Amino acid sequence: MNILIAGNSELALHLCKLFSAEKHNITLICPDRELIRVVEASTDLMTVEGDSTSLTILKSANAKKADLLLSMHLDGRVNILTSILGKHLGAKKCIAKVNEPEYTTEKSKAYYKDLGIDYLVSPEKITAEEVTNLIKNTAATEIFDFTNNQLSIMLIRLDKDALVLNKSLNEIAHDYKKLDYRAVAIHRRSETFIPHGSDVFREGDMAYVVTKPEGIDHLLKLGGKKRFAISNIMIVGGGTVGSQAAIMLEKKFNVKLFETSRDRSEELTEVLNNTLVINGDARDIDLLENEGIRSMDAFVAVTNNSETNILTCLLARKYGVKKTIALVENLDFIEISQNIGIDTIINKKLATASYIIRFTMTAEVISTKCLTGIDAEVFEFVAKDNSPITRKPIRKLKFPKDAIIGGIIRENEGFIATGDFQIQPGDNVVVFALPKAFHAVDKFF
C-alpha cells in the first residue's frame, strides 16, 4: 500500500516506523529537517521536506497515488487542511489527527467527511476511553472488547497467587473441561510467544487471553485476581486526557482531579460538574495525604510528563491504592513501568496506531488493538465469501505460526476457537498476530 504520512509529531514518527516494518511504501512530508534525519536513520522510506498544506509539496510527494494519507502534525488545523487538499489531489483515504474532542462528534465528522476527510482521530479521546474501560474492569491490566462485548482480550499478570502457575495449557484444559477463554500469547522476560499445549505458565508472566463474558470470573480466579468495587478516583493532570476521563467517570464515581495551572484549574471547574478540581502538585506528599490518597480506589496519572506519572502512581501504590494507571509516552519506559508495580500503562501513540492500522489491511477489519508493551496486534476480521479462512476447519488451515485465532463472533454470539470449528462467511474472527504475520493473516480473509 502507498501511504503518505504528513507530520512533525512523535506519532508521525511512530507510524513511519510501524508501517515501514510492515513493508508498505511510505512517504513522509515533514517541515522539520532534524526529524527527517531521525526517520531516515531508522527506516527505509521516502522523505519530502516542506509544508504539507502546500499543493506543490503534496504533488511532489505524489499524493494522487496515495492509498492512505495520514496527517499527524501537532497542529490539528494543519492536519485538516492537509487532508482536504490531499483528497482533492486524489488520495483515496484521508485521516486527520485533531486535538480537541469536539472535532470527533458525529455532527463534526459528517461535516468534515463532506470536505474530503474520511476519518478524524483524537489520540486524547481514545486514551480517555481506555482509562474509563480499565476503571470499569478493575482486575484486568489491559482489556479490549470486540463486537457488542461478545468477546474480549484481557491481559492478566500472573502473580504468586495464580492457580495456573507451573501448569501447562494441556493440564488446564484437562482440569477444566469447558473453557470460555483461550490463551493467545504469553509475554515473558521481554519476549512474546504464542503458547502451545505443552507450554507452562510461570510467575511474572503476562498472559493475553480471549474470553467470552461468562468466562471472565473463572479466568480471573485462575489468574489469582479478584474484581473489586471502585468508588473514589484521583486523576493527576487536567489536560485533554484527564478532563475527558473525568467527564466520563464523574457520572458514576467520586472524582478528584489535580492540576498545577491555576488558569487551567479554573477552566476545568466550568466543564466538570461533579469533579473536585484541586490546584496543586500531586508530587507533594502532604497534599496527597490531605486530599485523602489513602481512601482512593483508583489513581490515574495522565500529565504530559511520563516520569511524573510513573512517580505519582508508585506513591499511590505505597498508600494502598488498588488500581493505578499511568500515561507513559516513552515506549522504552513501558516494560520498566510494568515491572515496578504500576498496574496499567497507557500510551497515546499505541492507542492511535490501534485505530489507524485497520486501514492498511486489504481485508475488512472491524477493530484493532496494539497491545501495550509488546510488539503485537489483535485484529477483528470479517470472513468474506470464499475466502481461504472459510474453506477448512481451523486445525486444517495452514495458519501462520506467528498468529493464532482466539475466537469467533457469529450472529452476535461469541465462540472460543477450537480446532474443529468451521469459520463461515460473515463471521467476525479475533486474531492475535506478531508483526511478521500481519500480511499472511490478511490474505486468509
Amino acid 409: pLDDT: 97
Distance between CA atoms of residues 200 and 279, nearest Å: 49
Instruction: Please give the domain boundaries of the chain with CATH numbers for all domains.
Output: 2-121 (3.40.50.720), 229-321 (3.40.50.720), 352-444 (3.30.70.1450)
SS3 391: coil
Amino acid 2: pLDDT: 95
Residue count of the chain: 445
Distance between CA atoms of residues 432 and 8, nearest Å: 31
Amino acid 413: pLDDT: 94
Amino acid 286: pLDDT: 94
**pLDDT per position as a tens digit, 250-277:** 999 999 999 999 999 999 999 999 999 9
C-alpha cell at 154: 484481557
**pLDDT per position as a tens digit, 168-177:** 999 988 888 7
CA-based end-to-end distance of the chain:
17
366 near 360, Cβ under 8 Å? Answer: no
Amino acid 215: pLDDT: 86
Count Cβ atoms within 10 A of the Cβ of residue 99 and give its class: 0-12 exposed, 13-18 middle, 19 or more buried. Answer: middle
Amino acid 3: pLDDT: 96
SS3 100: coil
**pLDDT per position as a tens digit, 419-444:** 999 999 999 999 999 888 888 999 99
**Listed residue (35, 46, 37) closest to 10, CA to CA:** 35
SS3 344: strand
From residue 75, how far is each of 7, 8, 64 by CA, in Å? 9, 9, 23
Amino acid 139: pLDDT: 67
H/E stretch holding 233? strand 232-236
Distance between CA atoms of residues 118 and 359, nearest Å: 11
C-alpha cell at 15: 507510524
12 near 30, Cβ under 8 Å? Answer: yes
71 near 3, Cβ under 8 Å? Answer: no
| Type of residue numbered 146 | F
Which residues in the chain come in under a pLDDT of 70? 139-140, 373
Amino acid 209: pLDDT: 92
Amino acid 40: pLDDT: 86
**Listed residue (349, 310, 315, 314) closest to 333, CA to CA:** 310
Q: β-strands 46-49, 344-346: how paired? A: unpaired
Sheet holding 298-301, edge to edge: 275-279, 254-259, 232-236, 298-301, 323-327, 344-346
**Listed residue (422, 417, 425, 7) closest to 184, CA to CA:** 417
SS3 380: strand
